[in-house]
Structures are given as structure tokens and as C-alpha cells.
Amino acid sequence: MPRDTLSKEQIVLAAVQVLDAEGVNGLNMRRLGAHLGSAATAMYHHVKSKDKLVVLAADHVFSEIGLPDLGAAGWREGAATLARGAYAMIIRHFWLIPAMSTHLIYGPNKARYDERCLAVYESAGFAGPEADQAAATVLMFAIGAAQGEAAESAWRAQLRRTGADAEQQLRDAIAEVGEVSHQFPRLRARLTASAATSTLSSEATFEFGLQSILDGLQARLASGSLPPR
């Protein structure tokens, strides 16, 4: 595809697809050009570097998070909606967490998300730094809660790049984890119990943590024990 028929939006969308399949380490201009049926030089005509492309792709995926209508829901439901949206988005795009560790992620879509978060917490009664802290706390929890699934997806992407048998590697890893865990009584008891009963889903664990954090924020509002401004 000639460079004059490509748009920056097409390149960013294609970069997201490559990142979803290969991760940050699997993205390069030559790989992206092959994905689009174009020369790598056409990519540089629109985006100056791989690092800039990662930032653009990361900002783009924040556009997938639906923003709650503050007039239709209370602050708590609005906060939960934003947190659930971030959690689900990060799981879909596992590469975002490692990208955040090496790139400053910002742009209009991330700003749009941050703006609505602040509006939600200000509507609850938090103001200034307190709204910033509440928003940051919930977002950091969502990122941390998604990290386990994101890490497994990143690991699988790495195995695909090397041509390894991902399922066999996973079975081997689970066996090794079991051997280590059986040395510790509480972990051993949980492994034994989980073999006989269904375990909690990651979504259920996320929801437990989210509601616990929101309970804490709500309690701080009710007691007036907010940090000094």
C-alpha cells in the first residue's frame, strides 16, 4: 500500500493489532508494514518512531472505555464503571502494562478518561488533590488486578514468537508452581481445596477488591477524614 494512501489512523489501528498478537517486543516498522502490505518507510512518513507509535496505540485503546453519564448514575456506580472498563481494556491489550513501564502514556483519549474520573470523584465530594488521589487509587487497583492475566498473555505471545509449545510450557509451569506451593501449609491447603471445588474467577476477585476500595472511599467521605489539602 503506497504511503500516500495510508493514514495515521490506519497505522495506529494496525499497530494495536500487531501489539495484541505480538506484544511490544514484537512490534517494529517492518512487521507493521508487512501487516499493512506496505513498505516500512511508509510508516515513518506518518509516525517518526516505534516509541511514538506505542504511545499512540496506547492512547487509542483508552477510547474503548465507555464513560458513565454522571446524571444517570451516582458517583459510586460511575467510578465502578470506569474501573471495570479499564480492567477489561487492559486484559484485551496485555501489552499496555509493559508499555506503561517504559513510555509516558498520554493523549486525547487518556485525557478524556482522566477528565471523567475526576468529574466522578468531585461529584462525590472529593476536591482538588483528594479527587486526584481517589481516581489514581482506583485506576492503580484496576491495573494491578489485570496484571496477572496480562502477564500470561504476554508470556504466550513470547512463546509464539519463539515457536515454543505454549500449552506444554503452561502445564510445566503449573506443575512447578504446585511443587513450590506444596512446601507451604496454607498454599498447600488452598491447592487441595481448589482441586475439589471451583475457584473464584479473576472477575469476582476484581469486583471484591473494587467494592472494598469504594467502601473505603465512601467511609472517608462520611466521616470527613480526608487528607489535608
The confidence score (pLDDT) of residue 198 equals 54
Task: Please say whether the beta carbons of 8 and 44 come within 8 A.
Answer: no
Alpha-carbon torsion 86, 160, 8, 5, what sign?
negative
What is the pTM (predicted TM-score) of this model?
Answer: 0.84
Q: Looking at the structure, tell me whether residues 7 and 115 fall in a common domain.
A: no
**CA angle (97 as vertex; 154, 78 as ends), nearest 5:** 125
- Exposed e or buried b for every residue in 210-220, given b needs 16+ CB within 10 A? beebbeebeeb
Residue 228 included in any domain: no
Residues 165 and 190 in one domain: yes
User: Residue 141 sits in a domain of what CATH number?
Assistant: 1.10.357.10
pLDDT of residue 197: 55
78 & 176 share domain = yes
Among 39, 61, 83, give the residue marking a domain's end: 61
CA dist 210 and 50 (Å) reads 35
Q: Average pLDDT across each block of 10 residues of the chain; the chain has 229 residues. List them in order.
A: 74 96 90 89 88 97 95 92 97 94 96 97 94 97 93 79 74 82 84 62 92 97 67
Q: Is the dihedral angle over the CA atoms 5, 9, 14, 15 positive or is it negative?
A: positive
Cα 169 → chain centroid = 24
How many domains does one find in the chain? 2
Contact between 81 and 137 under an 8 Å Cβ cutoff? The reply is: no
User: In the prediction, which pLDDT does 201 show?
Assistant: 81
Domain boundary among the residues 61, 79, 99 is at 61
Query: Which grid cell sits at 61?
Result: 485503546
Using only C-alpha atoms, the chain has a radius of gyration, in whole angstroms, of 21
Secondary structure letter of residue 69 according to DSSP: -
Which structural domain, as residue segments, surrounds residue 29? 3-61
Q: Do 28 and 84 fall into the same domain? A: no
Which of the listed residues 13, 32, 61 is the one where a domain comes to its end?
61
Note whether residue 229 is domain-resident: no
Instruction: Give the integer Cα–Cα distance in Å for 65 and 26.
Output: 25
Residues whose CB is less than 8 angstroms from the CB of residue 26 and which lie 6 or more positions away in sequence, other chains included: 18, 19, 157, 161
Both 33 and 81 in a single domain? no
The helix/strand/coil state of 74 is: coil
Is 28 part of any domain?
yes
Contact 129, 188 (CB under 8 A): no
Q: Given this model, what pLDDT does residue 194 score?
A: 64
